[in-house]
Amino acid sequence: MNYANFPLDKRKPLPSSDAVSAEDFIDVERLLGMAARQAKVVAACAAIGLFLGVLYLQTTPPTYMAMSRVLIDEGLNKVVDEVSAASVSMQTDSAILSQIEILHSARLAAVVVDKQKLDQNDAFMDPPTSAVSKAADFVRGVVRYFRPSPAVGTTDVTQLDPATRDAMIASSRRDYAILKLQNEVQAERIGRSYVISIAYQATDPALATAVTKAYAEAYLADQLDASFDATERAAVWLQGRLTELRESSQAAALAVEKFRAEHGLAVDDGQLISDKQLSDLNGQLIEAQADTARASARYQQYKSIVESGSDNAFRDAAISADQPSNSVISTLKTRYLTVAKRQQDIEANFGAEHPQAVALAKEKADISAQIFGELKQLTESYRNEYEVALARETALRANVALAAGKSSIDNQSQVKLRELEQKATALSTLYQTFLGRYEEASQQQSFPVGKIRVISDATLPKSAATPRMSIVLGLSLVLGVMMGAGVGGLNEFRERFFRTGEDVRDRVGLKFLGYLPIIGSKVVRDDRRDDGQADAKTAQSPSAAERRARMRVSIDAPASMFAETLRSAKIAFDVVMEGQGSRVIGVVSVLPGEGKSTVAANLAGLLAANGSKTLLVDGDLRNPGLSRSLGMEAEQGLMEAVVSGQTWQSVGKIDRQTKLAIVPAVPRGHFSHTSELLSSAGMRRFIDNAKETFEYIIVDLPPLGPVVDAKAFAPLADGFVLVTEWGRTPRAMVQSILSSESYIANKIVGVVLNKVDLKKLAKYGSIGGSEKFFDRYSSYYLEKSEARTKANT
């Protein structure tokens, strides 16, 4: 089957270069491959991070931290709280937070500054700083220089007298020391306990210890002073209030006794006789009302059951456990349910017309009638009880009315008396309360006990708190690794080139023919010289001999991997073009400098060395790099043969070793109509003439990207071999060109990846892929041939 004539609509469509299958969304194997490829980047960034960490450790002065711990203990002044009027509970988080805010207050910081004279201590006011801090200060200074803040309300101290100036400077230093200490001291709660840690960090361990101890002592003294001031203010206020309350209480008590004597209000156990009698009757009336309501509810319940009929009576018959008929009705209901169950079983098995079912139905009706009779008797009994309770309630209500009328006059007087008694009692109670509070406040002043105690005093630190070498180096290493991972991820994100045969198959849907390794160490690195794009600067290297040797690798090293890949390409187009006598193979690339000329020369040399009659044609008329690399100096070439109608014999040359026929291209100034020449009738006659002699015609064509020469030659070609450079040719560009040049894409036999770095290739291969095992293939490539290849290159 001729692959070139295969219908376009039946060819595999080109996949999207950005297509990612759902199963590759999280591909662990791919992530591991990325990690292996970017290991050096990550290691370099990690080393940079460690270096910066070491540099930070060397340039940062050590600081020492001293710590004290205080406990807010309610038990310390329990005795005081029992008599204190100003007791405060500390059982809430807000109270603990309030104590922490006290520790951060400017007033407490001022006490410590004055006690330790920190405003005169240079180690406190101007401690040594790290290089990072100096750099930050420098940046802030530069910013302030270019953006100076306006001075509002400032005073020129140079115009003041020395004493005033010194006082202002001292006051400013003290204010700065207070603010600095307030910002640097650390106070925080330990977990969910009532313990607060007080810590201070300084470059001098003795200074850190002294400040921390002073802070704890100042905090304890502040708590005692606050408690003493509160009790003192409370005692002064209570003393004035007691005099007013004593006079008011005495006047109210005298008014009560005078009113009782004037109205003759006799009392029994503190209560009027008429009121006591009325109270007893009211109690009896309440009980009678409750009995009447209970009897009425019971009667109405059973009355509604009886009125609902015998059928519903069975379902609604709720009998209290204290009723004598409860056992009778319960027994009847049990019999009724037993009979109903038996009736249901008989009807389910033998039908409703069965004699036994009929008898059971009759028995069930009799039992229901008995239950209904019992319920009617209970209803009548409850009706009698209700009438008796109602009569008793009516009688008691009349007695209460008589008693109420009798004591109406006494009650009117009693209202006024109670009002006077309540006022007298309230004033007396208030007086006693204030008297007790005053005594408590007086005693509280003599108890110098607070709720704070130090449970861990500050000691001289033996080792520096910061910087911690292990933490700094560990963090530097982690940040370096993270930075390396980011850079590596960016490198992988920018990876848009062909690396493996799987990329070729998945991205462009073409057959992958194999890998062509880099020839030598430095020769092939100059990519553009491979296609003859040498200018005045690059003509010096590689040398002409090196370029010619590169074109003969498959001949000089037939057992090399390079030659083996070309054999794979030969087998591919032999299978596709099976049955054809002579085969025209075009070697193309997408971009210049991908090595297509080298591949074309070595492929033709390999075919000729194997005994096949082969013609190599340099079809790149604009830039005949193949002819230059082969070192062919000719006056006539392909252009002359096509234009003048000559045959290949008139312009071709024969390689004496392989009998390979070569038709060079001789540039003739600036000639831009090369595409018309390659698609002309003369070119067709030239190819037809060559087919009569050769089995293979290998044509080195210009790249697909810059010019359309390859597209113009496509009707004359039986197939194309696409050469792409490993790690350099963009996948998207190849796909775009093949999508737009579908006629060429249909004739492409396969793709070879050129200039492959075999040491790096394994990092891009999948687990189990052939790329991982190239080091094991070396036994199949003769070392003698490789040595010869290196000698020639």
More confident residue, 360 or 206: 206
Mean pLDDT confidence for 574-582: 84
What pLDDT, on a 0 to 100 scale, did the predictor assign at position 199?
A: 93
* Secondary structure string (H, E, C) spanning 355-377: HHHHHHHHHHHHHHHHHHHHHHH
| pLDDT over 60 at 539, yes or no | no
Mean pLDDT confidence for 93-112: 88
pLDDT band, residue 637 (cuts 50/70/90): confident
What pLDDT, on a 0 to 100 scale, did the predictor assign at position 636?
A: 83
Most confident of 11-25, 630-644, 702-716: 702-716
Mean pLDDT confidence for 510-534: 60
* pTM given for the model: 0.52
Most confident of 483-492, 495-504, 613-622: 613-622
Mean pLDDT confidence for 323-346: 75
pLDDT band, residue 445 (cuts 50/70/90): low
Rounded Cα–Cα distance for residues 791 and 793 (Å): 6
Rounded Cα–Cα distance for residues 395 and 391 (Å): 6
Give yes or no for a contact between 266 and 417, defined as CB atoms under 8 angstroms apart: no
Q: Which of 252, 247, 283, 249 is nearest to 418 (CA)?
A: 252
More confident residue, 229 or 157: 229
Least confident of 50-59, 168-177, 239-248, 319-328: 319-328
What pLDDT, on a 0 to 100 scale, did the predictor assign at position 778?
A: 61
Least confident of 27-31, 185-189, 494-498, 615-619: 27-31
What pLDDT, on a 0 to 100 scale, did the predictor assign at position 90?
A: 47
The residues near 767 (Cβ < 8 Å, ≥ 6 apart) are: 29, 32
More confident residue, 270 or 580: 580
What pLDDT, on a 0 to 100 scale, did the predictor assign at position 408?
A: 67
What pLDDT, on a 0 to 100 scale, did the predictor assign at position 263?
A: 65
What pLDDT, on a 0 to 100 scale, did the predictor assign at position 775?
A: 64
Mean pLDDT confidence for 37-47: 85
The residues near 215 (Cβ < 8 Å, ≥ 6 apart) are: 68, 103, 108, 112, 185, 198, 200
Mean pLDDT confidence for 336-357: 82
Most confident of 314-323, 384-393, 657-666: 657-666
Rounded Cα–Cα distance for residues 453 and 216 (Å): 9
Mean pLDDT confidence for 789-793: 40
More confident residue, 706 or 148: 706
What pLDDT, on a 0 to 100 scale, did the predictor assign at position 721?
A: 93
Least confident of 19-28, 420-429, 516-525, 594-603: 19-28
Rounded Cα–Cα distance for residues 350 and 375 (Å): 35
DSSP at 766: P
What pLDDT, on a 0 to 100 scale, did the predictor assign at position 150?
A: 55
| pLDDT over 90 at 586, yes or no | yes
pLDDT band, residue 787 (cuts 50/70/90): very low
Over residues 455-470, the pLDDT tens digits come to 888 888 888 888 888 8
Residue 587: its H or E element: strand 583-589
Mean pLDDT confidence for 140-148: 76
The residues near 588 (Cβ < 8 Å, ≥ 6 apart) are: 596, 701, 702, 703, 704, 710, 720, 721, 722, 723, 744
* Average pLDDT of the residues of the chain: 78
What pLDDT, on a 0 to 100 scale, did the predictor assign at position 529?
A: 40
What pLDDT, on a 0 to 100 scale, did the predictor assign at position 788?
A: 43
Position 369, amino acid? A
| pLDDT over 80 at 776, yes or no | no
Give yes or no for a contact between 515 and 756, defined as CB atoms under 8 angstroms apart: yes
Q: Which of 754, 755, 756, 745 is nearest to 586 (CA)?
A: 745
pLDDT band, residue 227 (cuts 50/70/90): confident
Over residues 364-380, the pLDDT tens digits come to 777 777 777 777 777 77
What pLDDT, on a 0 to 100 scale, did the predictor assign at position 523?
A: 37
Least confident of 482-486, 493-497, 746-750, 768-772: 768-772
Rounded Cα–Cα distance for residues 752 and 594 (Å): 11
pLDDT band, residue 303 (cuts 50/70/90): confident
What pLDDT, on a 0 to 100 scale, did the predictor assign at position 152?
A: 47
What pLDDT, on a 0 to 100 scale, did the predictor assign at position 528?
A: 40
Q: Report the share of the chain in percent with pLDDT over 70.
A: 78
pLDDT band, residue 29 (cuts 50/70/90): low
Mean pLDDT confidence for 572-579: 85
Mean pLDDT confidence for 117-141: 83
pLDDT band, residue 321 (cuts 50/70/90): very low
Over residues 73-97, the pLDDT tens digits come to 766 555 444 444 444 444 567 888 8
Phi/psi for 660 (5° steps) reads -75, 130
Mean pLDDT confidence for 597-618: 92
What pLDDT, on a 0 to 100 scale, did the predictor assign at position 530?
A: 42
| pLDDT over 50 at 789, yes or no | no
| pLDDT over 90 at 12, yes or no | no
Q: Report the share of the chain in percent with pLDDT over 90.
A: 15
| pLDDT over 90 at 584, yes or no | yes
| pLDDT over 60 at 325, yes or no | no
Q: Find the distance separating the first CA and the last CA of the chain, reported in whole Å.
A: 40
Q: Is 38 exposed, middle or buried (0-12, 13-18, 19+ CB in 10 A)?
A: buried
Most confident of 203-217, 223-237, 331-345: 203-217
More confident residue, 29 or 111: 111
What pLDDT, on a 0 to 100 scale, did the predictor assign at position 298?
A: 77
Q: Which tokens sit at 351?
A: 């039908």
pLDDT band, residue 667 (cuts 50/70/90): confident
Mean pLDDT confidence for 320-333: 63
